[in-house]
Structure 1
Amino acid sequence: MKSFTLNEINKQIKGTLLGDSNQRISGPEQIENAESHHVTFIGSRKYEKLWDNSRAGAAIINETLNLLPGEGRSFIKVKNVDLAMAKVLEMYDPGPPVLEEEYHSSAVLHKSVKIGKNCKIGAGCYVGENVILGDGVVLYPNVTIFDEVQIGKNTIIWSGTVIRERCEIGAYCILHINVSIGADGFGYRPSEGCVGLTKIPQIGNVVIGDHVEIGANSTVDRGKFSSTILGDGCKIDNLVQIGHNSVLGRFCIMAGSSGLAGSVTLGDGVIIGGSASIKDHITIHSGATVAAGSGVLKDVPAGKTVLGYPAGDSREVLKQWVALRKLGRI
């Protein structure tokens, strides 16, 4: 088990240490559950009141707070607790499972596959014709990669993920458990005579940039033609649906159970809250935010925050909600 002194932790996060620099910490913990050998985190006044009853030996706190550590306990004051937390968690990270063999004997690799240096391919994987794996790619057990897929260097793909034919995945990506990349988009039209439905062929692909992370059980459908695109640095939560021919700019965030219908365009830095849904052929411009649970039926200007169903300017919607509450009392 890893253990560090507060001084060693402070060297990583570059804060101001108050208290015993040699106090040894066995790991981070929530403030309510922490013991004397743990470090916890206080990022706002909301958590100040919990410190007195906490048994944590130390805390990393926002430098704007006036809280004192108390006898026998220590603080490290920092500008941004969340960023400091990320560095501390890296220090204590036990690391992912290790695949001892370069290619497991049960993996099925087409003879045409091109594999870079230092790749690992786990048990039960299937890698199809003309697939290209960059240096350092890791495929955990039971990953399926169909023909002509390209995967950039140091990308990690977890068990159960399926990448359909002709898709392109960038470098330094993480695809978590049971991700689906390149399944058919949802396209049907009434057949002639209005008897049954005709499936619209989906012959495009998915193109994913570098440093993209996609959460467990999320899906990115292939384009009807051309590509569904996720720009560099996008972060996709669990259980997210991205419809065919949607285009995401750089560093977009989509929280759990949110969804894009077909041909949605997101600018750079767009944030989609949990369970929000976006109508097809909508554009949400750069820097906009869609609040959790909202339904977007029209374009959203750059930098705006929208809320509600149907979604509107958040300030106006909140005023309407206040007025409705007052009306109920009347």
Structure 2
Amino acid sequence: MKNLSIEEINDVLKGTIIGNLNLIITGPEQIEQAKEKEITFIGHKKYEKIWANSNASVAVVNEDISIEPGINKAFIKVKNADLAMSQVLEMFAPAPPIFHHDIHPTATIDSNASIGKGTKIGANCYVGPNAVIGDNAILYPNVTILDECTIGNYTTIWSGTVVRERCHIGNHCIIHPNATIGADGFGFRACPEKGLAKIPQIGNVRIGDYVEIGANSCVDRGKFSSTIIGDGCKIDNLVQIGHNSKMGKFCIMSGNSGLAGSVTLGNGVIIGGSASLKDHITVGDGAIIGAGSGVTGDVAAKKTMLGYPAVEARTALKQWAILKRMATT
């Protein structure tokens, strides 16, 4: 366990220390559960009232906080406590799993695959023909990379992930356990002979740089060309991205949400948990889709949509207010 002085922490945060300057911190914890010598965070004024009963020695707080730290305690005042929290967590993060071999003896790597410098490949991984793995990538045990895939520099792929043939993942990406990249898109048509005829999915998936994809999420390959995930997108666990969908840069998709086929998202779109988007629609830059919403048509840039079926937020709130009044009369 690391021990850091409050001043060492503030050297990174570049904030202002208020209170006891001699504290030694053993780790971070949420405000209700923190113990003495631990550091916590107050990112919103509603949590100020909890501080009096917290055992934490230090709190990272926003500059507009209205309370004092108290006896033998301290605040580190910063412009954005939530962002500072990520820096503190990084300081105290434990080391990642250990590799005793850069390439484990049980890994199967095709003779025509290319492996970059500093890359680590765990036990029972498979890397197929003509696959290219960049420099300083990490494949944890039981990862499958099939034929002609490319994996960028400094990308980490966690155990159980399958990257199907001809798919491409950029630099500095994180793919969490049991994700599937490049499974067949869901394409079938009625057929007199077969009942349902499968439509071949001959495209692939292209993932940009600094993308993170959560555990058990699926990104389907395109029927034609590519399903595209833009730079900086963050995708939660249990998310479905249908074939030929295109996500712009820095989009966020929360858990259990899904895109049907050929959905186009602009840059900076936020999709709440369990929201679903119909096929062949376009969502403009900066739009927000509320949790549990069902989107059936195009959404203009910067609009917020709520409900099932989804409508503009102001309309949804009016509808809910009317329903509430009806239920009480």
**TM-score (ref. length: structure 2):** 0.99
DSSP-derived class of the 2:182 partner: strand
Shift of residue 188, structure 1, vs aligned partner: 0.4
- Amino acid corresponding to residue 79 of structure 1 in structure 2: K
Tell me the secondary structure at the aligned position of residue 210 of structure 2: coil
Three-state SS of the structure 1 residue aligned to 2:75 is strand
Q: CA deviation at 1:329?
A: 1.8
Residues 234-288 of structure 1 show CA distances to partners (whole Å, capped at 9, x for unaligned) of 0000000000000000000000000000000000000000000000001001100
Provide the rounded CA distance (Å) in 2 between the counterparts of 1:270 and 1:44: 24
Distance, in Å, in 2 between the alignment partners of 1:172 and 1:71 is 44
Shift of 1:231: 0.5
Are residue 162 (structure 1) and residue 159 (structure 2) matched? Answer: no
What is the 5 A alignment of 1:95-114?
95-114=95-114
Structure 1 position 22, deviation (Å): 2.0
Instruction: Within 5 Å, give how 1:112-151 maps onto structure 2.
Output: 112-151=112-151
Match of 1:219 in 2: 218
Could you tell me how far 1:44 is from its partner in structure 2? 1.0
Alpha-carbon displacement from aligned partner over 1:165-199 (angstroms, at most 9, x marks no partner): 00011000000000100000000011126x51100
Aligned equivalents of 2:211, 2:16: Cα separation in 1: 33
Offset, 1:20: 1.8
- One-letter code aligned to 2:276: S
Pairing 1:3–2:32 present:
no
Structure 2 CA distance for aligned equivalents of residues 285 and 68 of structure 1: 44
1:242 — aligned with what? Answer: 241
What secondary structure sits across from 2:319 in the alignment? helix
Question: 1:85 matched to which residue of 2?
Answer: 85
Amino acid at match of 1:324: L
SS for the counterpart of 2:59 is strand
- For residues 147-226 of structure 1, the aligned pairs below 5 Å read 147-192=147-192, 196-226=195-225
Amino acid at match of 1:253: I
CA distance in 2: counterparts of 1:54 and 1:197, whole angstroms:
61
Letter in 1 for 2:85: M
Structure 1: distance between partners of 2:8 and 2:250? 32
C-alpha distance in structure 2 between counterparts of 1:43 and 1:169, whole Å: 34
- Percent identity reads 62
The ranges of structure 1 where at least 4 consecutive aligned residues each deviate by more than 4 angstroms after the TM superposition are none
Where does the alignment leave 5 or more consecutive residues of structure 1 unmatched?
A: none
Q: Aligned to 1:280, what secondary structure does the other structure show?
A: coil
Q: Structure 2 CA distance, aligned partners of 1:63 and 1:96? A: 34
1:137 aligned partner, one-letter code: A
C-alpha distance in 2 between matches for 1:266 and 1:59: 38
SS at match of 1:95: coil
The residue type paired with residue 234 of structure 1 is C
Q: Name the counterpart of 1:229.
A: 228
Aligned residues: CA RMSD: 0.8
The AA in structure 1 aligned to 2:163 is I
The residue matched to 2:32 in structure 1 has which SS?
coil
Q: Secondary structure at the match of 1:202?
A: coil
Matches within 5 A, 1:31-110: 31-110=31-110
Q: Distance in 1 between matches of 2:37 and 2:165?
A: 50
Q: Alpha-carbon deviations, 1:112-141, whole Å to 9, x = none? A: 011110011100000000000111111000
Q: What is the Cα deviation at residue 315 of structure 1?
A: 1.0
- What letter is aligned with 2:318? K
* SS in structure 1 at match of 2:12: helix
**Secondary structure of residue in 2 paired with 1:60:** strand
Q: Where in structure 2 are the equivalents of 1:220-299 lying within 5 Å?
A: 220-299=219-298
> Can you give the 5+ residue segments of structure 2 that lack an aligned partner in the other structure?
none
The amino acid that maps onto 1:235 is: K
Q: Per-residue displacement from partner, 1:124-169 (whole Å, max 9, x unpaired)?
A: 0000000001111110000001100011101000000000000011
The answer for the alignment partner of 1:318 in structure 2 is 317
Amino acid paired to 1:10: N
Cα pair 2:19 2:70 within 8 Å, conserved: no
TM-score norm. by structure 1 comes to: 0.98
Helix, strand or coil at the partner of 1:206: strand
**For residues 324 and 109 of structure 1, what CA distance do their matches in structure 2 show?**
61
Q: Which residue of 2 aligns with 1:24?
A: 24
Q: What secondary structure does 2:77 align onto?
A: strand
- Cα distance in 1 between the residues matched to 2:328 and 2:170: 56
Is residue 201–residue 222 contact of structure 2 (8 Å, CA) maintained in 1?
A: yes
Q: Look up the equivalent residue of 1:264 and give its one-letter code.
A: V
